[in-house]
Structure 1
């Protein structure tokens, strides 16, 4: 497999970790890198920080600034922005450049969450073609003269009647984006049903000047190989497939580079990974919050393994590293990785009508910045 070049970045593996809120913090990214190095012999992909809001970054919101933490040896440092305003976009990207905060800027136009789309943000915004282009251009302008590439991620569209991905890909490339990524679902689908890889192939045929990455329904190494073969895309973006499986990137890297795929870990190895994850979270958040943050990962890690209700219940309430050690010690280390642990992970949800601002679909050429769409209560 040829290296993936995104602007100045050359990646030996065409695999990108998708930003996921509350998941892809510095602890999880460090763990994924460590496991890729241990199990595949290299760290060759791109691991993107969880999404932060451009406005909150410019305003130096304490939560946002904490979210932009990178490991001391993490490279390339990849930061994703949620943004709706060209001026704020420029200010945020310029801040990243001036303060050497990252080596790569990605922009998210794929979020389908109702509280985002009803304000005109996320996957609703590419429908406003001119505004979308102005936002991408602002980020590219802020990074001119640097080695920091700007990339853009979006969905197929709002729903089946309002596809936007072909226009979005063309506009992003014309405005200077170094690559585009498509989650092959509409906002109406959220994460339900199946990703339509045919739309990735259509985008690849439509956008020929920059790499096109595919996202959606990659849950094992075979899925990544199939997507690249079927669509011709230049790389894959992996999100929910790595939940509770931070070693997945080692498997993907090996498969796409023609090497033997590492054997999945036993329950004993998984407990060691969970313990390392907790340690990294404690370093980032402090032990109390770090162990509480681990709770959301427990069911993903133990999927398919015989753990027993008492241990599972205890792990779901764990609040210290000592308590975690005691509970993990009760698991049978010799149990091999179960076959039924494969497949889709994370919430699937149900398709639904996309919440949009009143009159949003009336004029796709409108450049008015949506009001209130860049205020995120989480700081992210």
Structure 2
């Protein structure tokens, strides 16, 4: 595997100085404490929690309170909040500050999932620019010295782009950085990310860092994105699925002191086993931890000579002992398979018409109908 080389300044987000300009993107069901700890063991950067519903935090939902708890080894600590009501989001931020739950808060305006957008949340919300601005302004005020950032998409679709005006609004409202996933909600995760949009946002937002997200599958991609767009840092999502050591490769690419890895099948098996062990610790339940690692099997062993029977057994294992026995069957000396293990990871999906509240696109301000949809969105107690 060629080693990318580049130099880049450290990323500063408010008072936070990051050794490398790299952020782990929030991913539902993925970026829990276990995965964040694993990624941190390989590299450096800012590692963000799963998306946390603001109202669930305010109401101290049991699942949510566990999701916002960080391991003592995690520093700096980062939480991403989702919400649609300015008062509720601000109150959630106040709780985080008052109870010292994190060192950084990110606001989610990028989620394209229909159950979120059909209520006016996630990537649908910046279309209502006044509401977007009020949420960021009140959250930033509640955060005080804690850096508050914003993650968003280009817009709802190519005919309803919002990222440039939302970026300016976030900057003026007190955001410490703005991150752009360079796709629209309609694209979901399909197609190719439009890195030129990141460059345009960087030209528009000039007083705080601009971070780029989308199609970073390798350290080379991250270096190239920063070179082509001028962005101040990168946000890595699906590219690290089954490859937590990518953060070590990123650290090395940006000039930090990081160990080079040789991802033989034995190395990958050890990473998979460590991930399972951390999940068991996180859930405090061996069976649940071993069930949760199942979703990662295909990502870790993509391109490697692991037979279908072993893969299937790993995807049904219910104990660490079972996992150990299965991993022992592998050829640990099998070398990195090259291109077969590279490229896109996770589900891309297909372009689709975004699910939106009725009449959402007819005007930029809220009406009574839209407000009702938002109220329903705030009743989501899923904990993220």
Report what 1:31 is aligned to: 38
Are 2:62 and 1:22 aligned?
no
What's the secondary structure of 2:49's corresponding residue?
coil
What's the secondary structure of 1:49's corresponding residue?
strand
- Structure 1: state its 5+ residue gaps: 37-43
Contact 2:20–2:256, Cα closer than 8 Å, also in 1: no
Alignment of 1:35-46 (within 5 A): 35-36=42-43, 44-46=44-46
What's the secondary structure of 2:270's corresponding residue?
helix
Report what 1:309 is aligned to: 308
What is the count of residue pairs matched by the alignment? 371
Contact 2:248–2:258, Cα closer than 8 Å, also in 1: no
- Structure 2: state its 5+ residue gaps: 1-7
Aligned counterparts of 2:12 and 2:160: Cα–Cα separation in 1 = 31
CA positional deviation for 1:269? 1.0
What's the secondary structure of 1:214's corresponding residue?
strand
CA positional deviation for 1:375? 3.2
What's the secondary structure of 2:96's corresponding residue?
helix
Are 2:107 and 1:107 aligned?
yes
CA positional deviation for 1:374? 2.6
CA positional deviation for 1:378? 2.8
RMSD: 1.3
Report what 1:152 is aligned to: 150
Report what 2:376 is aligned to: 372
Contact 1:214–1:233, Cα closer than 8 Å, also in 2: yes
CA positional deviation for 1:260? 8.1
Contact 1:13–1:45, Cα closer than 8 Å, also in 2: yes
Report what 2:287 is aligned to: 288
Aligned counterparts of 1:317 and 1:84: Cα–Cα separation in 2 = 38
Aligned counterparts of 2:262 and 2:29: Cα–Cα separation in 1 = 25
CA positional deviation for 1:309? 1.4
Report what 1:77 is aligned to: 77
Aligned counterparts of 2:94 and 2:375: Cα–Cα separation in 1 = 23
Report what 2:199 is aligned to: 201
CA positional deviation for 1:335? 0.6
Contact 1:14–1:236, Cα closer than 8 Å, also in 2: yes
Contact 1:300–1:345, Cα closer than 8 Å, also in 2: yes
Contact 2:265–2:333, Cα closer than 8 Å, also in 1: yes
Contact 1:83–1:89, Cα closer than 8 Å, also in 2: yes
Question: TM-score, normalised to structure 1's length?
Answer: 0.95
What's the secondary structure of 1:10's corresponding residue?
strand
Alignment of 1:1-380 (within 5 A): 1-36=8-43, 44-144=44-144, 146=145, 148-257=146-255, 262-285=260-283, 286-339=285-338, 340-366=340-366, 369=371, 370-376=374-380, 378-380=382-384
What's the secondary structure of 2:242's corresponding residue?
coil
Change (3 A) 1:260 1:70: closer
Aligned counterparts of 1:69 and 1:264: Cα–Cα separation in 2 = 33
Moved over 3 A (4+): 258-261
Contact 1:255–1:261, Cα closer than 8 Å, also in 2: no
Contact 1:12–1:45, Cα closer than 8 Å, also in 2: yes
Contact 2:15–2:147, Cα closer than 8 Å, also in 1: yes
Report what 2:4 is aligned to: none
Aligned counterparts of 2:56 and 2:230: Cα–Cα separation in 1 = 37
CA positional deviation for 1:377? 5.1
CA positional deviation for 1:259? 6.7
Aligned counterparts of 2:256 and 2:133: Cα–Cα separation in 1 = 38
